[in-house]
Chain A
Amino acid sequence: MLGYVLRRLAASIPVLAIVAVLVFLMLRLTPGDPAAVIAGDNASSEQIAQVRHQLGLDQPLLVQFLIWIGNLLQGNFGESFFFKKSIGDLILGRVEPTLSLAAATMLIAVCVAIPLGVVAAYRHGSWLDRIVMGASVLGFSVPVFVIGYGMIYVFAITLGWFPVQGYQPLSAGFGGYLHRLVLPALTLSVVYIALIARMTRASVLEVLNEDYIRTARAKGQVERKILFRHALKNAAVPIVTVVGIGIALLIGGVVVTESVFAIPGLGRLTVDAVLARDYPTIQALILLFSGVYVLINLLIDLTYSLFDPRIRH
């Protein structure tokens, strides 16, 4: 098992290395002087010169890359030209809201979507199935920010149940923290629920057609146990896989949701950095999000053996 974990960790290094190369090249391959681009539109020529020197842009491409990657490996993400702060500190200060939002969303989505998907598969072809499937297509079709503003309009402005925008750190009290987290998490969970419910339905449906389900029926087993004892455990691997793949969707959603609800998290930072053309910050954030995404999926791969004894490491 440990060997497998190490092997998988080792296998994700090349992927992350490729991400790093892509992120690095992205800036270098754009037309124009990267130093000027990095320093920003309002930079003076001294500032540009300083950037050029700092990033070693006068060096060959490979040397530049090695300097950059060397800094990264030491945890040095560089300096943000827009926020005038170390990017590492900048990111650390923004982690809590994003993590809270993502975790709450994930929790809501899994608790709602999996039962929905199972029931829809079991009542395959019924009105309930059609409603769940129809609602999930709808969930895929409306952009997060429209859902967000819809929620705000109904629950915050009209009903007044929740604050319109804003975030309160956990340290300032759990009640207020939760109160402000509900709407954004609900908003973000819609597309995630749609995704997971669909996958759950599809894989349970597929499993229900398997021969061993017929065997269980031939033993005289009741349908409820067939569904939960035999079907759901077999359907688990594709379901947790899509939960992992959905992280990419979640990260995209975080960026938008934080903008809509004025939450000072990493997503908001990303947008601000892009609007300010703060490239070192953008690069760091992309690397960070990709690393998290790859690692979560690695963790999910490692859980497969819990569900399926055929997958042994």
Chain B
Amino acid sequence: MSDTPSPVLDIADLAIALPGGGDRLRAVDGVSFTVAPGEIVCVVGESGSGKSVTAFSVMGLLARVLKPVAGAIRLLGEDVLTASPQRLRALRGDRMAMIFQEPMTALNPVLTVGDQIEEVLRIHTDLGPKERRAKVLAMLEAMHLPDPERMHASYPHQLSGGQRQRVMIAAALILDPALLIADEPTTALDVTTQAQILRLIREMQERRGTGVLFITHDFGVVAEIADRVVVMQHGRIVEQGPADQVLGHPQHPYTRMLIAAVPTMTPARRPPVTGALALETAALSKTYRSGGLFKKAREVHAAADVALRIRRGETVGIVGESGSGKSTVARCIARLIAPSAGQIMVGDQDIARLPERRLRPLRRKIQVVFQDPFRSLNPRRTVGDSIIEGPVNFGSDAKAATARARDLMSLVGLDPAALARYPHQFSGGQRQRIALARALAMEPEILIADEAVSALDVSVQRQVLALLDDVQRRFDLAILFITHDLRVAAQICDRLIVMQSGRIVEEGPTAEVFARPTAAYTRALIEAAPGREFGRGERLQEAASA
């Protein structure tokens, strides 16, 4: 390292103790890496890998229960672990700055955006009000935010998520810190916004020579932005090196597994499915009206004029960003909400307007797996009770239903003996398997997966996707797969529907949509998918088979 400039950040042998009772003693242990000026170092790992703990320890913002017990964190040669609180405050915001995952909550809702950026100047400089204001406006301009004057006086709730993250970046970079720590800064954003923010971070960092410590779980993002990569697992570094090397020739099996689990952007060619028609909607719409006697009435078209068909054995993906109406369509089809207009044909029956009483017998044909594995099972009931609830409702006797539940547990890869346990004893991925078993217990014809793998780590995600594929073949299921993630959709869907603002903007066989997108919006989505170049290469297959 003698020929490289001295690093802005040098973490040496860092260990942080966990409070008692956890499944390990240390949140991170033996962590050493450096960040050079003008370098982006990505720390990547799944949940619980210790990557965020590492980032927060640099800022001195760890929760009190987490105590660094060994090692050093040197910022420009100065150990922040032994620095006094006053010194640490002087460094924060000035020499090191941080942006966070949730731009929605990271800004104070009752102060203006300009005020919050200016705060950094008030803390660390003696600039007068006019100079501060000029500097903030210039910074807002540099963030490519429209109308900086107006932006300066805006409150956070008046801004979009992407704009808020730009404001966070402006506040972080306004004093040209030597180190910027970015903790999953794009995870909560839509994919097109994510691409813009990544580009902005790159641009700022190149222009200012900032060293960036970038925390992420997404190898796509890593491929997009990293100069060097540090891979963490269970609080330890398993591999680190230049991005090309780690991504192209991963050495550690865990790294290989993670990279292999990243869904590719190259959809497999799938033969057209010719099974019987399972579901068809026509002119399906959901309109929300608000207002009333004294307020102006407003109408929101959450879904408009949606027509789709799914065959038995076919997986149809609905892709779109937040607010596109994809979940509204799913919930209408599941009849968790009543559509405002249109038909939903299941077999030869239109269920769009059936009252609950007449709907109930048809409920077993359509089942849903929800997004949040932590809320989709009743915490007070055993897993077994949850799985057999449906069959028993439909007249199956409890013994037979339980026997079948055992089979289904094995089928989804869980121990049948675990039926007697409560949901909190399972991990997120296991709960999604249970939710799938519960859906399958109803012997449905149509399965709706509403962002069913979005909350899962990539390695777990891949397993659940494989499981979905497997059960589809076994039960000849029609699957409606709702996702915001094109890469996941590419893996599993036979056909794709792209939605924007409540309407279908594109539809076709998956490979076709990826190869020759017709709608501008689809192109933008594909364009924005992080690491799409990385995802295309043969090396991925290599890594997977290695």
A/B: CB atoms within 8 Å of each other: yes
Provide the B256-288 mask, 1 if CB < 8 A to any CB of A, else 0: 000000000000000000000000000000000
Contact A215 B168, beta carbon cutoff 8 Å: yes
- Chain B CB within 8 A of A212 CB: yes
User: Contact check: which of B59, B94, B102, B110 meets A307 at CB < 8 Å?
Assistant: B110
Most A C-beta atoms less than 10 A away, residue of B91, B107, B294? B294
Q: How far is the CA of A7 from the CA of B294 in the complex (A)?
A: 7
CB–CB A221/B119 < 8 A: yes
Contact A218/B98 with A211-B105, A309-B155, A310-B155 known, Cβ cut-off 8 Å: yes
Q: Please give, as numbers and ranges, the residues of chain A lying within 8 Å of B110 by CB-CB distance.
A: 233-234, 307-309
Map CB proximity to A onto B287-304 as digits: 1 under 8 Å, 0 otherwise: 000000011000000000
Question: B93 at interface (Cβ–Cβ under 8 A)?
Answer: yes
Q: Are B108 and A220 in contact (CB under 8 A)?
A: no
**Binding site secondary structure of chain B:** mixed
* Contact mask for chain B residues 451-485; partner A; CB cutoff 8 A; 1 contact, 0 none: 00000000000000000000000000000000000
Could you tell me how many residues of chain A have their Cβ less than 8 Å away from some Cβ of chain B?
24
Q: Does A94 touch B at the CB level, under 8 Å? A: no
In the complex, A139 Cα to B502 Cα: how many Å? Answer: 55
Interface string of A87-127 (1 = CB under 8 A from B): 00000000000000000000000000000000000000000
A219 at the interface (CB under 8 A from B): yes
In the bound complex, how far is the Cα of B124 from the Cα of A29, in angstroms?
Answer: 71
* Interface residues on chain B, number (Cβ under 8 Å): 29
* Cβ-based interface call for A275 (8 A): no
Q: Is the CB of A212 within 8 A of B124?
A: no
Interface presence of A230 (CB below 8 A): yes
Name the one of A3, A10, A216 contacting B119, with C-beta atoms under 8 angstroms. Answer: A216
Please state if B109 and A309 are interface contacts (CB–CB under 8 Å): yes
A210 at the interface (CB under 8 A from B): yes
Residues of B contacting A130 in the complex (Cβ-Cβ under 8 angstroms): none
Assuming A234-B108, A308-B109, A309-B155, is B61 touching A218 (CB within 8 A)? yes
Is B90 interfacial (CB 8 A cutoff)?
yes
| Distance, CA A222 to CA B111, complexed state (A) | 17
Question: With an 8 A cutoff between CB atoms, is B100 at the interface?
Answer: yes
Chain B residues with Cβ under 8 A from A3's Cβ? 294
Q: A309-B110, A309-B155 are in contact. Are A222 and B89 (CB under 8 A)?
A: yes
Min CB distance B384 to A, Å, is: 37
On whether the beta carbons of A220 and B105 are closer than 8 Å, the reply is no
CA distance A6 to B295 in the complex (A): 12
Please tell me which one of the listed residues A7, A214, A308 contacts residue B100 in the complex, with CB atoms under 8 A apart: A214
A1-57 interface (Cβ within 8 A of B): 3, 6-7, 10
Residue on A with the closest CB to B154? A309
Flag if A219 contacts B157 (CB, 8 Å): no
- Cβ of A217 within 8 Å of any chain B Cβ, yes or no, is yes
Q: Which are the 10 A-B pairs with shortest beta-carbon distances?
A: A220-B93, A220-B92, A219-B93, A211-B105, A212-B108, A309-B155, A220-B89, A218-B98, A7-B294, A211-B106
Residues of A within 8 A of B (CB): 3, 6-7, 10, 210-212, 214-222, 229-230, 233-234, 307-310
Listed by A's residue number, 20 A-B pairs whose Cβ atoms lie within 8 Å are: A6-B294, A7-B294, A7-B295, A211-B100, A211-B102, A211-B105, A214-B100, A214-B106, A215-B106, A218-B61, A218-B97, A219-B92, A220-B89, A220-B92, A220-B120, A220-B123, A220-B124, A221-B93, A230-B111, A310-B157
